[in-house]
Amino acid sequence: MLDWLFMEQWSPYIAGVGIGVLCWFAFLLSDKPIGCSTAFTRSSGMIEHIIHGSKVNEKLYYKKFTPSIDWEVMLVAGIVIGAFISSMISGVFQLQWVPSTWAASFGDNFSLRLIVALIGGILLGFGSRWAGGCTSGHGISGTLQLALSSWIAFICFFASGVAAAYFIFHILGG
């Protein structure tokens, strides 16, 4: 009966329903939409607090996004833990420093992969804060609320992702 829990890939329809139900609970319990990018903002503030002390609390940005562990930080932790558990019970977990798709185009140089991943992550972080949300905030929560700005952001996320993948793997990777 629970065989679907052990599948390598779930049906996107079942996963979509699950995300929808999760959104209901998020609104019901916290009166806030699902999103992850603010968790990274709060985490960077907590790291800065460790390094520079309470000066971080004086910054205007961190007055709006208080450096603290909140439900969004726990959501990100849950995503990581859930992905790990899912990969373990489906039997596909493996440590892979350079993904096979990357290695096929650029070789198995870990340092190059790390540099490109860090640059991509930094750009993603700036973009999500500039857009006022990430793919989960706009793509899931904003679109289900029929927010025009979220639909525009969501379309731009996909178009940019396709363009970036084409550029990286077909222009640079040859």
Element (DSSP H or E) covering residue 50: helix 37-52
Structure tokens at 17: 């329903």
Residue type (1 letter), 19:
I
pLDDT band at 112 (very low <50, low <70, confident <90, very high): very high
pLDDT digits (tens, 9 = 90+) for 88-107: 998 889 888 998 888 888 88
Determine contact, residues 141/129, Cβ cutoff 8 Å. no
Which pLDDT score is estimated for 47? 92
Structure tokens at 7: 């599948």
Residue 133 has pLDDT above 80, yes or no: no
Which pLDDT score is estimated for 118? 93
Question: Maximum CA pair distance of the chain?
Answer: 55
Query: Is the whole-model pTM more than 0.85?
Result: no
CA pair distance 11, 7, nearest whole angstrom = 10
Mean local confidence (pLDDT), 119-147:
84
Chain mean position to CA 135: 7
Which pLDDT score is estimated for 114? 94
Residue 119 has pLDDT above 70, yes or no: yes
Q: Which long-range contacts (CB under 8 A, 24 or more apart) does 58-67 make?
A: 65/38, 65/41, 66/42, 67/42, 67/43
Residue 2 has pLDDT above 80, yes or no: no
pLDDT digits (tens, 9 = 90+) for 48-86: 999 988 888 888 888 888 888 888 888 889 999 999 998
